[in-house]
Chain A
Amino acid sequence: MEDTILRVEHLSVDYKIKAGYLSAVNDVSFSIDRGKVLALVGESGCGKSTVAHTIMRLSIDHNERIGGNIFFEGQDLTKISEAEMEKVRGKHIGMIFQNPLDSLNPVYRSGSQVAEALRLDGLSKHEARERVIQLYRDVQIPNPEERIEAFPHELSGGMRQRVMIAMMLARHPQLLIADEPTTALDVTVEAQVLNIMKEMCDKEGASVLLITHNFGIVAEIADRIGIMYAGELVEEGEVHEIFRNPVHPYSQALLAALPKIKKSEGTIQTIEGTVPRILEKKPECRFANRCPYADETCRFSSPEAKFIAPDHMVRCHKR
């Protein structure tokens, strides 16, 4: 049996808004094994970032209601105190954010922001400095001795994201959450940054929860893939299995929407409609209004997660 590092069980997140509760995440369950990469994929607004932020308990407005459990190394992160959570963040779970342009504090030198994390583990100023230089070297930042003195705005987007990777892996976390780490970067830089991240994680033996909407990235580095739609995990399985044999109509449509060079047709496949805002939880399939196979069952009862293979979960009435 493989060693599970993170197990999310029936996670649901509802944001309190004026009209009631907005269901951002509903009944999401998945787990990540040690050293593996799970990619959560879906359209904008499908709740994948919310899952990431909820695991780290990083909420700005404190206006959400969380249900379910998040087990990290056997500890339920939804139950522990804020002080205990502070010990988990950075030390056991690191997180890289979407936009490296504003993820670093503009008034401090980049190296000192990495050192700040290291100092939490009791390193002296000098030790921290040496370690930061080493880390910069590991994430392939040229001239690390000079670059640690650079302010964030003096670094390019790719360099800043490397600083973030260095910062978040500085304390050897067992899990790294990467929330669309390369969305804001150029395609050429994207590959470099991803490779660096993957290499670093392999070296550290860290697992990765990768949030993305880019299937290219998924194919490149993920071991497993979870496809999210409107706050629900609709299909989850091994990467090759899902790519070869997508079962959920949404997964099929999403994969069909990938532009293929071989095709001579001038148009790109799209999925009609948009992701609905779920204000009221109703017994229905959330994809029903966009699904070509939907019938009465889909409109009046929620599909349960079922396993069509030992390792392949899907949430659909029709499969």
Chain B
Amino acid sequence: MRDYVIKRISQGILLVIVVSILVFAMLDLMPGDPINIMTDRKVSEEVKEQLRIEYHLNLPLHQRYVIWVKDMLHGNFGKSIKSKLPVMDMMKARLPVTLKLTLTALLVELVIAVPIGLLAAYKKDSIFDRIVMDVSLFFTAVPSYWIAVVFMLLFAVKLRVLPLSGFSTPLHYVLPVASLVVSGIASTIRMTKTEVLDVLREKYVLTAYAKGLKKKSVLVKHVLRNALILVTIMFFMSVPWVISGAVIIENIFTIPGMGQMLTSGILNQDFPIVQACVFILAILTVVCNLICDIITAVLDPRIRISLGGEN
């Protein structure tokens, strides 16, 4: 198990390095000169040249990469071209906001979706199952921004029970979290249902019944326990996705999160910001994959054995 974790961590580090090179190189391929965007047309060539030197844009790509990595290792992601603020400080303010938003949404989603999926599988083809499946099909088809706008109209404008936008109090998070949950919950319900249906067909479920266990114990101890292995995997795999996918919701509710920072960074060719954001997302992906692998190994003894030998 320990060897396995060490192996996975080193693989992860390698992956982060590769991604960082890609991110760095690809931004360089983007058309347009960032210096032209940040300066007015009247600014003289000398001043522009000086700015280039300040941002190391006069150096070849590989040298710039080395400087970037060195700075980054010292906790310095450079300065934003647009706002002139250190990217690190901007990130520090925004990353927690995004994490708070998306992790809450994911947790709420799981807590609601898993029991519904379990019940829908257990009562397959019942009215409950059919309603759940139809409704979830509807919400899969509807984009999250539409739901967000409808929620805003309904709860903030018409009923005036919740704040329209912002992020200062927990109440402000209700609508954004709800929009994220509603748009993502359908797939989780469907996935849980499919997985539970698969497990229900396993022989050991019959064994559990045969030894005299009650339905509820069979469902929770034997069916759900095994179905949750896959659900956990999907959960952790979707964390980085949700963070980058929360962009739209963040924009609609004017929540200053990572997503908003990334989109405006791309639009302004603010390359230090884009590099930092993509890099952080890459690290998050790698970390989530790692957590996911370790948790699966803990949940499923078969994987544990095939990995390390000892448990």
Contact = CB atoms under 8 A, between A and B. Distances in A.
B27 interface: no
A62 to B, nearest CB: 9
A243 interface: no
Nearest to A173: B212
Nearest to A164: B207
Given A99-B203, A102-B202, A104-B204, A90 B302 contact: no
B226 A154 contact: no
A151 B210 contact: no
Name the residue among B201, B214, B215 with the largest chain A CB count within 10 angstroms.
Answer: B214
A308 interface: no
A90 B206 CA distance: 12
A97 interface: yes
Contact of A117 (B202, B206, B211, B300): B211
Interface string A118-154: 0010000000000000000000000000000001011
A91 interface: yes
Given A151-B305, A153-B301, A153-B302, A103 B211 contact: no
A60 interface: yes
B209 to A, nearest CB: 6
Interface in B201-237: 201-204, 206-215, 221-222, 225-226, 229
A87 interface: yes
B212 A171 contact: yes
B305 A154 contact: yes
B24 to A, nearest CB: 43
Contact of A90 (B202, B212, B222, B225): B212
Contact of A168 (B203, B211, B300, B302): B211
A242 interface: no
B250 to A, nearest CB: 39
Given A102-B203, A164-B207, A153 B305 contact: yes
Interface residues on A, range: 20 to 34
Contact of B210 (A60, A89, A99): A89
Name the residue among B201, B211, B225, B301 with the largest chain A CB count within 10 angstroms.
Answer: B211
A103 B215 contact: no
A89 B214 CA distance: 10
B128 to A, nearest CB: 15
B212 A151 contact: no
Contacts of B283: none
Interface string B51-84: 0000000000000000000000000000000000
A89 B299 contact: no
Contacts of A170: 211
A58 B211 CA distance: 11
Contacts of B209: 56, 58, 89
Contacts of A94: 210-211
B207 A97 contact: yes
Nearest to B207: A103
A91 B222 contact: no
B305 A60 contact: no
Interface string A80-108: 00100011111100110101001111110
A197 interface: no
* Among all A-B residue pairs, the 8 with the closest Cβ atoms: A90-B212, A117-B211, A90-B211, A105-B204, A95-B210, A102-B203, A151-B301, A89-B212
Interface of B: 200-204, 206-215, 221-222, 225-226, 229, 299-302, 305
Given A86-B215, A164-B207, 16 more contacts: A89-B209, A94-B211, A103-B207, A105-B208, A105-B225, A106-B226, A106-B300, A106-B302, A113-B207, A116-B211, A116-B221, A120-B212, A151-B302, A167-B207, A167-B211, A171-B212
Interface of A: 56, 58, 60, 82, 86-91, 94-95, 97, 99, 102-107, 113, 116-117, 120, 151, 153-154, 164, 167-168, 170-171
6 contacts: A82-B215, A90-B210, A103-B203, A105-B226, A107-B225, A170-B211
